[in-house]
Structure 1
């Protein structure tokens, strides 16, 4: 292996099999050797888009070359075996059966597919939360905007809080909905709850399994947005948790090539999914003379139009890489401990506090308050000012947002990070926060 500043060669020149016979770099900055980052970039925002290891990229480049050598042969003949391999690998990791999983583009695509496959009726209810991911929240509103206009019910989540409090309020919220029609609501309406396993902003772990169980007891459908789960959450086990639907991005914490996600639909609910988006040629229509009954869930997702299949075939390569560097437990132990330690150090340097001081809601993302007065509202202008200062002037980044009257950053701790990265980020956010305050002051003067 070479030093941390001399990266592995890219694009086909890397012999992955030979590499995996060697000892991997240690966690921390030495791990930069097997990633393609700008050496000066401080990346504490892995949770947004993911980051591709060079050995996984080499496998993807080889796949791309195979496809381009004979697109017909690969897409028409070889592709199905590759898809099956991906489904089997991912299913094993999440405690599901292979034919309950399909590989799709991303979590938003999966949630949208599920929600649009329900047959909505007037009086049906869709439950979201105040921390539901923006695109998913807007999809819920869209479905309410069009006939037959299902009702949106919003569950309020304000942090800091505890799992115990969340579950108490969630149980009350579900009970209030299911009891609102003299006990017969479930005979007249369909209720679907969209639940985050790990919220995006703030980046906190929710008691999603218990929330699913509460819904199950109340006869409420559950759609779990687990965008951040696979590769970050160790004890997923869907066969035990039994959500009705579950979607997770493989290109985030699992380190597959973006975009790649897994959609889990247990056999008991596969009749709900009548068509992917877009509808494939394999759709089985009752109008067809050769109609064969219910859809074949896996077959429907095998070919939904021409795409670049490489990202969807990269999950197994990501799992091979993760096994080489130590496996799921070792990876997540390092990232979690770094998130806790790094968050404390960042809060110390900023003179603020962490959102979850006890660490009960923290996996590999930590939320730290920013030194921006809470009365300053979020605007696109301020968001752009923060982004440009961090990325263009400091070449460092972590997500930032406003929640519950305060400004926060969500830092994603990964195997290439060290506490010193949080120290660089502290200086970047001090500068960026000061610019935000000055910007707001100037606006106030100009408006006076």
Structure 2
């Protein structure tokens, strides 16, 4: 692997070269974000990154709200309705099925609260399920006298095997299935459309956690699930606190927003538009984020991110002398690097390594733990370039040594 970075000299922005995976106009693309150049932002998958123009529009809207709060809140429901109409198209959902929520956890909470779980039933999820979603499932199961059943899915299990395991696991006691579209800890995609067909045949509701899907996948909500939720602040680069929630027709009469407010008695999805006096500027500016990425070309963005994530995985694995993780159907914009046995095997140890990489190598990264094994999760967005992963590779090797 050729090192293109030169010497780091204390600043993450020095001598990192250009981005041949994007092209000669990459500096213009990088300039769309005002990210701190003293660190390398290699963890887009966790908290995203908001383009400067979107942040400026948010500031303008906040000023408008403060100039005349009464007028702001009087007009807000109509503006939110217009924004969610645009964002439904970004997510591939029918307008009448699509609402906005603060994050994937809020949508998951609303979906679980609407399910008529019977006593003695169970919620089926996998050992790849996002931790907060698993906690929500456990809360609602306890409240209904139900339980949580965890289905073990090997990291390298292809889609056909995943569906076979699901078919075998769904039985008469299954009250609902919760399945990641793209798993957080293990950065793999799941066959959610096939799972929707299995669940529909068995008469079991399916909730798809598509937290990473908007922007990374094309039309992710169009998967046939009863409920789908996805964060727009990750790969669609919207302000944080913005997520989409799609609900199939048979469930819309029961689902309620996570906050009971003045829209409570409105039909879905308008019932979700009024959530109190919180700052809704993220929802209103999310279409601008999507338009900005769309202007770069969604296909070009996705192809670039996939190639860069694969490059980052390869260069870090080479530095560690390890093989890439054997992941079936890896997430397009994220890849896993196995860490040495005994490294980052717990949440606390993973967090410690993550902090060490910031302090000693200037790299913001994601260190994940799955079934007692530690991984480095490589993310790639258009503001990243190959040289940044070479810095990460050297830094990780030094920290681990």
Q: Structure 2 length normalisation: TM-score?
A: 0.89
Alpha carbons of structure 1 residues 404 and 28: separation in structure 2 relative to 1, 3 Å: farther
SS at match of 1:201: coil
CA distance in 1, matches of 2:100, 2:199: 26
Name 2:145's counterpart in structure 1: 149
Residue 327 (structure 1) shift: 2.1
TM alignment of 1:223-262, pairs within 5 A: 223-236=207-220, 238=222, 241-262=223-244
Matched, 1:322 2:302: no
SS at match of 2:31: helix
State which of 73, 94, 103 in structure 2 corresponds to 1:106.
103
Task: Report if aligned partners of 2:221, 2:246 keep a CA contact under 8 Å in 1.
Answer: no
Task: Report if aligned partners of 1:25, 1:33 keep a CA contact under 8 Å in 2.
Answer: no
Alpha carbons of structure 1 residues 60 and 25: separation in structure 2 relative to 1, 3 Å: farther
Name 1:16's counterpart in structure 2: none
Task: Report if aligned partners of 2:367, 2:377 keep a CA contact under 8 Å in 1.
Answer: yes
CA distance in 2, matches of 1:26, 1:314: 29
Name 2:93's counterpart in structure 1: 96
Name 2:193's counterpart in structure 1: 209
Structure 2 gaps of 5+ residues are 1-12, 14-21
Residue 60 (structure 1) shift: 1.2
Name 1:279's counterpart in structure 2: 260
Name 1:128's counterpart in structure 2: 125
Matched, 1:65 2:36: no
State which of 256, 271, 280 in structure 2 corresponds to 1:309.
280
Alpha carbons of structure 1 residues 235 and 110: separation in structure 2 relative to 1, 3 Å: closer
Task: Report if aligned partners of 1:375, 1:405 keep a CA contact under 8 Å in 2.
Answer: no
TM alignment of 1:258-273, pairs within 5 A: 258-273=240-255
Task: Report if aligned partners of 1:125, 1:151 keep a CA contact under 8 Å in 2.
Answer: yes
Alpha carbons of structure 1 residues 161 and 91: separation in structure 2 relative to 1, 3 Å: same
Matched, 1:299 2:270: yes
CA distance in 2, matches of 1:192, 1:32: 43
Q: Which has the larger radius of gyration?
A: 1
CA distance in 2, matches of 1:156, 1:110: 24
How many positions carry a matched residue from both structures? 381
Matched, 1:334 2:334: no
CA distance in 1, matches of 2:250, 2:72: 32
Residue 223 (structure 1) shift: 0.6
CA distance in 1, matches of 2:393, 2:81: 45
Q: Which runs of 4+ in 1 moved over 6 A?
A: none
SS at match of 1:126: strand
SS at match of 1:342: helix
Structure 1 gaps of 5+ residues are 6-23, 179-184, 285-294, 435-448
Greater RCO, CA 8 A, separation 6+: 2
Name 2:177's counterpart in structure 1: 193
CA distance in 1, matches of 2:352, 2:262: 47
1:411-440 per-residue CA deviation (whole Å, 9 max, x = no partner) reads: 111101122111111122223323xxxxxx
Task: Report if aligned partners of 1:347, 1:353 keep a CA contact under 8 Å in 2.
Answer: yes
CA distance in 1, matches of 2:23, 2:308: 17
